[in-house]
Amino acid sequence: MDDITLYCFAQSGNSYKAALMLNLCALPWTPRFVDYFNGETRSEAYRAVNPMGEAPVLEYTADGRRERVSQSGVILDLLAGATGRFGWADEAGRREVLRWLLFDNHKFTSYTATYRWLVAIARNGDPAVLEFLKARMLGAFAIAERQLGTRDWIAGAQPTIADLSMCGYLYFEDEIGIDLGREFPNLKRWLGRIAALPGWKHPYDLMPGQAPARP
Amino acid sequence: MDDITLYCFAQSGNSYKAALMLNLCALPWTPRFVDYFNGETRSEAYRAVNPMGEAPVLEYTADGRRERVSQSGVILDLLAGATGRFGWADEAGRREVLRWLLFDNHKFTSYTATYRWLVAIARNGDPAVLEFLKARMLGAFAIAERQLGTRDWIAGAQPTIADLSMCGYLYFEDEIGIDLGREFPNLKRWLGRIAALPGWKHPYDLMPGQAPARP
């Protein structure tokens, strides 16, 4: 796997999942800035890169061919297979990682990312929508908080791509407006454990783009 | 894989994904009714079965041991591996199936299931929340509609577990209140192709429980 390029932008926690994995695995990679805020992901050109219209997208060369992969969970799975890092020991372990990866996509990241988007970036959410999303986000947080009450990592004895997926938006804690240390102390300690892994960086230090301006 | 039990209930499209796979693979299975509407999934006893508090859960015996698996995507992956049906031919195929499985969990089923829940079952959604969810559901439909414009199945030349996952809530079309034939004709034809597979049944004919009463 050579010449790795990651389509990404700093505000995207989904991009961060892939960027963090690349950094933790010490793989050389080049960011390709996605100009999301000027509508790039809605353009026909971008839809040709990813019909789902999302970041991240990973491009790399293998066996002389240029390959392209989208969906953060697929990129994480691919990189775990290629590096032997942050994966699983057996089939039961693989299923447990997949279970949390799906939970992350279905409820954990999905509500968190959308809520954070509305409160910190768009800042035009209807109060009922914000309340709806926040309640579901907190419900997902509570499930992870409980899971982390009896273990250090989400899906195994060691950190896996499930941890790297689920942490995607949580270093934006101040933008989300939740005091994790007070309300979800297990989550907060788990984020500290991930941040202590060699190669860890905050999303705003890892990808092109910048933090949203303060209101 | 023997003595298969599926924790499920008829109104749950996520349960349907697993039930449909079992039926299409002609595996004998017993439904175990989950009394969602009386709060069973919020009970401590159920949380011991599935800490995520969701249906479906698959139980089965393998090598003399009783195993338990949750998350519809993990169950589909497990059954594809066990039966050799609705899977993939190679690694690239596996990744393509996973990509759509994640898209389904992140955006396609997630918004559709929540919107349908509010309009057809709870019937107490704030109009702004309904509008928000509907717009995102239609955005996800549009991406699948485009994908199905050039192929018969979502993630390959043959039906895969990605199709069985994504169709989970769409046979509740009348409850959702969308005329798929008019607005998303490719989706409608694709649902017809799935319904023509031997062993197909409608969710209300496959799992215990009943359609919600008409308003």
Domain total of chain B:
2
Q: Which pLDDT does position B3 carry in this prediction? A: 97
Q: List, in order, residues 6 or more apart from A44 with CB less than 8 Å away.
A: none
CATH number (domain holding residue A59): 3.40.30.10
What percent of chain A shows pLDDT beyond 70?
99
CB within 8 Å: A106 and B103: no
**Is the residue at A69 inside a domain?**
yes
A146 and A115 together in one domain:
yes
Contact A68, B65 (CB under 8 A): no
**Is the residue at B214 inside a domain?**
no
A120 and A175 together in one domain:
yes
B12 and B68 together in one domain:
yes
Kindly tell me if the per-residue pLDDT of A67 is higher than 70.
yes
Q: Which pLDDT does position B214 carry in this prediction? A: 64
Summarised one tens digit per residue, pLDDT across range A181-214 is 999 999 999 999 999 999 999 999 999 998 777 6
Kindly tell me if the per-residue pLDDT of A7 is higher than 60.
yes
Summarised one tens digit per residue, pLDDT across range A119-155 is 999 998 999 999 999 999 999 999 999 999 999 999 9
**Is the residue at B134 inside a domain?**
yes
Q: Which pLDDT does position A212 carry in this prediction? A: 74
CB within 8 Å: A105 and B106: yes
Kindly tell me if the per-residue pLDDT of B21 is higher than 70.
yes
Interface of B with A in 65-124 (CB under 8 A): 69-74, 77-78, 95, 98-99, 101-103, 105-107, 109-110
Neighbours of B79 (CB within 10 A): 26
What percent of chain B shows pLDDT beyond 70?
99
Mean pLDDT of B92-118: 97
**Is the residue at A212 inside a domain?**
no
Query: Tell me, what DSSP letter sits at residue A178?
Result: -
Summarised one tens digit per residue, pLDDT across range A82-125 is 999 999 999 999 999 999 999 999 999 999 999 999 999 999 89
- Looking at CA atoms only, how far is residue A105 from chain B in angstroms? 5
Summarised one tens digit per residue, pLDDT across range B39-86 is 999 999 999 999 889 999 999 999 999 999 999 999 999 999 999 999
Chain B residues close to A99, C-beta within 8 Å: 69-71, 74
Give dist(CA A122, CA A212) in Å, integer.
Answer: 10
**Is the residue at A107 inside a domain?**
yes
Chain A residues close to B144, C-beta within 8 Å: none
Q: List, in order, residues 6 or more apart from B126 with CB less than 8 Å away.
A: A128, A129, A132
* A53 interfacial to chain B (CB closer than 8 Å): yes
B151 and B104 together in one domain:
yes
Q: Provide ipTM, 2 decimals.
A: 0.95
Kindly tell me if the per-residue pLDDT of A8 is higher than 80.
yes
> What would the two tokens of residue A185 be?
């102390």
**Is the residue at A211 inside a domain?**
no
Kindly tell me if the per-residue pLDDT of A5 is higher than 80.
yes
Which residues, listed in sequence order, are joined to residue A2 by a DSSP beta bridge?
A61
CB within 8 Å: B95 and A77: yes
A96 and A82 together in one domain:
no
A43 and A103 together in one domain:
no
Mean pLDDT of A62-69: 95
Peptide bond into A51 cis (omega under 30): no
Name the pTM for this structure: 0.96
Which residues, listed in sequence order, are joined to residue A69 by a DSSP beta bridge?
A58
* A149 interfacial to chain B (CB closer than 8 Å): no
Q: Which pLDDT does position B211 carry in this prediction? A: 76
Give dist(CA A176, CA A140) in Å, integer.
Answer: 14
**Is the residue at B109 inside a domain?**
yes
Domain range holding A31?
2-86+200-206
Give dist(CA B215, CA B212) in Å, integer.
Answer: 9
Summarised one tens digit per residue, pLDDT across range B175-209 is 999 999 999 999 999 999 999 999 999 999 999 99
If you count residue pairs, one on A and one on B, with CB atoms under 8 Å apart, how many are there?
A: 75
A119 and A64 together in one domain:
no
A111 and A71 together in one domain:
no
Chain B residues close to A146, C-beta within 8 Å: 51
B95 and B178 together in one domain:
yes
Give dist(CA B191, CA B189) in Å, integer.
Answer: 5
Nearest CA in chain A to B98: A74
CB within 8 Å: B95 and A69: yes
Mean pLDDT of B5-32: 98
Banded model confidence at residue A215, pLDDT cuts 50, 70, 90:
low
- Looking at CA atoms only, how far is residue A13 from chain B in angstroms? 14
CATH number (domain holding residue A111): 1.20.1050.10
**Is the residue at B50 inside a domain?**
yes
A78 and A107 together in one domain:
no
Kindly tell me if the per-residue pLDDT of B215 is higher than 60.
no
Mean pLDDT of chain A: 96
For the purposes of burial, counting CB atoms within 10 Å of the CB of A105, is it exposed (0-12), middle (13-18) or buried (19 or more)? Answer: buried
Give dist(CA B158, CA B154) in Å, integer.
Answer: 9
| B60: helix, strand or coil | strand
B78 and B101 together in one domain:
no
Q: In what order do the strands lie in the sheet with B65-70?
A: B29-33, B2-8, B57-62, B65-70
Q: Which pLDDT does position B210 carry in this prediction? A: 80
Summarised one tens digit per residue, pLDDT across range B117-132 is 999 999 989 999 999 9
B63 and B97 together in one domain:
no
